[in-house]
A and B are shown apart, each in its own frame.
Chain A
Amino acid sequence: MVDKKSFTQHISQQYNEDLEHILNRVMAMGGLVEQQLADALIALVEGDNQRGETVVTGDYKVNAIEVELDEQCTHILARRQPAASDLRLILAVIKAITDLERIGDEGERIGRMALHLLENDRQRGPMSEVEALGGQVKGMLRGALDAFARMDVDQAVRVAQEDLKVDAQYESIMRHLMKHMEQDPQAVPQVMDIMWSARSLERIGDRARNICEYVVYFVRGKDVRHTSYEQMAEEAAGDRR
């Protein structure tokens, strides 16, 4: 977790407790989103109908935590007028949970694609590359959440850079799937479902990267969105003090 000292040293004990509670709920939300993604991938790759249903019907839980956290952050802003690291923390949380909720949506989309494939001849679609991409993205999401939990800038930079691999893998998959459609036009509906799933995985990689950027913002006070990886690494390495 984030260095506990940061949140236990306010003169107001209630403030300490409020911030700790918010962070705990972000982690709970992250865990839920991770589980949704894992289930979606099993549904997609293994054709597991039950998992697909679980993901599609479970997204509301992610949404509910987002709404709850937004409300708690609003309370902190209105009642505490946070400054400095407290302000950056609340902003990082508000941004991160938006990305987590969207990751949940992408997971749900993959779940739907998996269910759709099950209604068709899913064997016609090549799945192995998507499985590899899914593994990569799952690892990236876990790394981003770990970095956020510990507010570890070094890990945040490492994980963010993994998005390059995800993008490369995604492009490769798209090329292969296009070729597959040319060779087997009958498989177009199935391949389209796999394409949408790959697209969702690629987007999850982007959002995991965003979460890493918020870690740099919280720790260093630097906004590294829309910058190069080199610049992000540089800002992360620099001492704010």
Chain B
Amino acid sequence: MTIKGESGMYRGDAAEYAGNVALGNHQASDETVETNPAAEAAQASKLRVQDLSLWYGDTQALFDVNLDIPEREVTALIGPSGCGKSSFLRCINRMNDLVPNVTIRGDISLDAESIYDPSVDVVQLRSHVGMVFQKPNPFPKSVYENIAYAPRLHGLVSSRAELDDLVEKSLKRAGLWREVSDRLDAPGTALSGGQQQRLCIARAIAVDPDVILMDEPASALDPLATATIEELIDELKAHYTIVIVTHNLQQAARVSGYTAFFHMGYVIEYNDTTTLFTTPYEQKTEDYITGRYG
């Protein structure tokens, strides 16, 4: 069964999940929930994931994932390759819809509304839930057009002046304005790797999303560009809910407030980051973050 942790959030056990125990039920029936900080976290949760399972063809990649992701916080997803963290991330903006033979069961709600409801417009959803990828992927257009493209597409601006303002605001928020303000017409691909990644972040925030998903956003960058991105993430959390997948444990420890540890498709442990990195509850988590044989 699932055990409620004293520091909030929940801790699961893979073997017990395998017994098909729905975590949400335990949370609902747990009397301690009212006095538990988890209850507060749940109230402020931006994203609620309930019993989410995912299959690629016949292969199950996620098993009954339950997570409450708090608003305006950074939540890190960690775990070994193939543990399902990126698959999970892609469920949050329905990117997996584009993958053939994917089956998804369970639900994710954004602000208490299901994102898997048939009435949901996926393009609209993705304007609320932006994504930044591992490798910077600016459009083969100018810096300006990289930012302007989506707001124009979504009809968010009515004049060129408004668009100019939005481009400037987005680039400023992404910490890139000073570096590119005199070369907005230069191709986005001409920027350095770190700048390109910040351009992609500026592009994501130009449509004023609620949530930004980041899939190893700094793994292709040098330590200085990485530090800049991490600093940016810290600033962005004042405005956005951020979910970041990273293989860099120190990065997860540095940037996130909460961390979920995935292993073989299960969420093994989800807790505030300090607790998870100093006194993890599950042996599997301990083994992974300390570099032991699991």
Contact = CB atoms under 8 A, between A and B. Distances in A.
A229 interface: no
Interface string B47-70: 000000000000000000000000
B291 A12 contact: yes
- Grouping DSSP codes into helix (H, G, I), strand (E, B) and loop, the B interface class, with mixed when no group exceeds half, is helix
Contacts of A88: 278-279
B283 interface: yes
Given A83-B249, A83-B289, A240 B277 contact: no
Interface string B281-293: 1110111011111
B261 to A, nearest CB: 11
Contacts of A85: 286, 290
Contact of A10 (B249, B277, B285, B291): B291
Contacts of B281: 240-241
Contacts, number: 42
A15 B289 contact: no
Residue from B253, B279, B289, B293 whose CB has the most chain A CB atoms within 10 Å: B279
Given A84-B286, A241-B283, A11 B293 contact: yes
A227 to B, nearest CB: 16
A139 interface: no
A162 interface: no
Contact of B292 (A11, A240, A241): A11
Contacts of B289: 83-84
Interface string A77-98: 0000111111110000000000
Interface residues of B, number: 18
Interface residues on A, range: 10 to 19
A128 B249 CA distance: 58
Contacts of B250: 81
A86 B292 CA distance: 11
A86 B285 CA distance: 13
Nearest to A81: B250
A234 B249 CA distance: 32
B292 A9 contact: yes
B279 A240 contact: yes
A15 B291 CA distance: 10
Contacts of A83: 249, 253, 277-278, 289-290
B280 interface: yes
Interface in B241-284: 249-250, 253, 277-283
A241 B283 CA distance: 8
Given A10-B290, A83-B253, A85-B290, A241 B278 contact: no
A45 B293 CA distance: 53
Nearest to B249: A83
Contacts of A241: 281-283
Contacts of B293: 9, 11
Contacts of A82: 290
A126 interface: no
B51 to A, nearest CB: 25
A17 to B, nearest CB: 14
A240 B5 CA distance: 10
A84 B280 contact: yes
Nearest to A241: B281
Contacts of B286: 84-85
Contacts of B283: 241
A113 B176 CA distance: 68
Interface in A63-113: 81-88
Residue from A11, A84, A241 whose CB has the most chain B CB atoms within 10 Å: A84
A221 interface: yes
Contacts of B290: 10, 82-86
A11 B286 CA distance: 13
A166 B178 CA distance: 66
A204 B179 CA distance: 60
Contacts of A221: 278-279
B279 A84 contact: yes
A134 to B, nearest CB: 38
CB-based closest 10 A-B pairs: A221-B279, A9-B292, A83-B289, A84-B286, A83-B277, A86-B290, A84-B290, A84-B280, A11-B291, A10-B291
Given A241-B282, A241-B283, 7 more contacts: A9-B293, A10-B290, A10-B291, A11-B293, A12-B291, A82-B290, A86-B290
Interface of B: 249-250, 253, 277-283, 285-287, 289-293
17 contacts: A9-B292, A10-B290, A10-B292, A15-B291, A81-B250, A83-B277, A83-B290, A84-B277, A84-B279, A84-B289, A84-B290, A85-B290, A86-B290, A88-B278, A88-B279, A221-B278, A241-B283
